[in-house]
Structure 1
């Protein structure tokens, strides 16, 4: 169960914190085993607040700092690539696909991870778009007649793991150590604690209680994900091989 630890992995997320939510424990485990893990973030996260009077430019800057800190908390040693598209306005167009393909060619991952674009009833448009950018980026990065002007050799990854999977067919095992790394990295996104993280667990007024409730909820989700695969804790994906 689980892939061999890759030499290099690239995880593509719609927003700062999406990668940590969906595959943080897996990336932490791989990084500790020697994998070079890179994170590509498609949008600036500037709409990640319910404060109608927030300075969205300042929020985008803060979220970029948090994204780098979260990657470090996971133990990754690769790059954090910020594509900088406006939050909520991501489109899987040719120009953005070319940017994703460029980074896949440049970073040359064995494994690519990203949102499942075919997940039914996926509400957030950026998650759908980021999924298509990942899948289309893999296809266009592997074939040399796409974007030849880039001047970077084509690259074909061995595996594609889609998180938020509509039909999960693969599990990466977790354990408490890597779950703790995942939770720690998520709590590094301090700008999101009220509107995203703590909201999911009823937003207890006491900050320590909120953090504990959030951690318990993440443990519960990984336990539920692992159960169909006979694992105590897991992150699950739709795996595509032989690309």
Structure 2
């Protein structure tokens, strides 16, 4: 069986104390975001990440594709700095479904065996010990990218497996996040962005409004979110990529689009911390 070493970034005692100590109400819950590509973190959850980081919560991001040393990995580092995320890069280093050169010699993320993919994510969950995990929804956001959908499935499995000590025992001590939040777009909130994507030939996949359990006003962090999006320079220069589409919009329109984030909550441990309620409007 493959091993999934847990990076020794924090002393074991500190991790244990964080898990066992009562969380002060003034401190937001720790958050781990798992996304497919560099730029997903900024586009999909940049506001929530910025607020959690600004308020002192441990905030980390796992990115499934693109290898360390590639240009987009460097852009991701700049984006996380713009969001205030102090954790080091957590790159799984697999290849983008459509860009083999994103990780020369590595498998495409969509082709990675389930046990391998889930094991890596379990290791990060157990190391960070977040109360909240955030990832793509089942559609893979508006465009339904295969890597987004695969990340959704693998994260759902990993959040379940991370709590079970006899699964992936080499990946660290068990940890149960309180909730998984699926970043999504409701029908009512996707119209403007959907028109822009439709204009460049991309699909638009949104969910019924009743599926949304947290609507988050991130306008106070819009500047940080936009700085993180534009840190992905190679995407901002592309005509059909969402950062490039947003960059061509008037500032008022752009801020309106990026100023709200939507999530569907999946609860794993009833009664445990794990709510975005402090952020919800």
Match of 1:154 in 2: 174
> Which region of structure 1 is more displaced relative to structure 2, 88-97 or 76-85?
88-97
Deviations 1:148-175 (A, max 9, x none): 233x110001121110253322122222
Q: 1:217 to 1:4 in 2, by over 3 A?
A: farther
Q: Give the superposition deviation at 1:118.
A: 4.9
Structure 2 residue matching 1:114: 3-state secondary structure = strand
Q: How does 1:13-162 map to 2 (within 5 A)?
A: 13-44=35-66, 61-88=70-97, 89-91=108-110, 93-118=114-139, 123-150=144-171, 152-162=172-182
Q: Give the superposition deviation at 1:200.
A: 2.3
Match of 2:272 in 1: none
Q: 1:43 to 1:154 in 2, by over 3 A?
A: same
Inter-partner Cα distance in structure 2 for 1:69 and 1:32: 16
Structure 2 residue matching 1:142: 3-state secondary structure = coil
Alignment gaps of 5+ in structure 2: 1-24, 98-107, 186-206, 270-281
1:8 paired residue among 30, 53, 63: 30
Aligned pairs, number: 207
Contact 2:183 2:263 in 1 (8 A): yes
Inter-partner Cα distance in structure 2 for 1:128 and 1:4: 34
Structure 2 residue matching 1:98: 3-state secondary structure = helix
Match of 2:245 in 1: 200
Inter-partner Cα distance in structure 1 for 2:141 and 2:237: 27
> Which region of structure 1 is more displaced relative to structure 2, 131-140 or 159-168?
159-168
Q: Give the superposition deviation at 1:143.
A: 1.2
Q: Give the superposition deviation at 1:104.
A: 0.4
Q: 1:4 to 1:160 in 2, by over 3 A?
A: farther
Q: Give the superposition deviation at 1:62.
A: 0.7
Contact 2:140 2:152 in 1 (8 A): no
Per the normalisation by structure 1, the TM-score is 0.77
Match of 1:49 in 2: none
Q: Give the superposition deviation at 1:34.
A: 0.6
Contact 1:117 1:130 in 2 (8 A): no
1:239 paired residue among 265, 269, 281: 265
Inter-partner Cα distance in structure 2 for 1:99 and 1:192: 27
Match of 1:219 in 2: 255
Contact 2:229 2:243 in 1 (8 A): no
Structure 2 residue matching 1:171: 3-state secondary structure = strand
Alignment gaps of 5+ in structure 1: 46-56, 202-210, 223-232
Deviations 1:174-233 (A, max 9, x none): 22x3011100100001111122145425xxxxxxxxx462754442324xxxxxxxxxx4
Contact 1:5 1:35 in 2 (8 A): yes
Structure 2 residue matching 1:153: 3-state secondary structure = coil
Structure 1 residue matching 2:138: 3-state secondary structure = coil
RMSD of aligned residue pairs (Cα, Å): 2.5
Per the normalisation by structure 2, the TM-score is 0.67
Q: 1:104 to 1:216 in 2, by over 3 A?
A: same
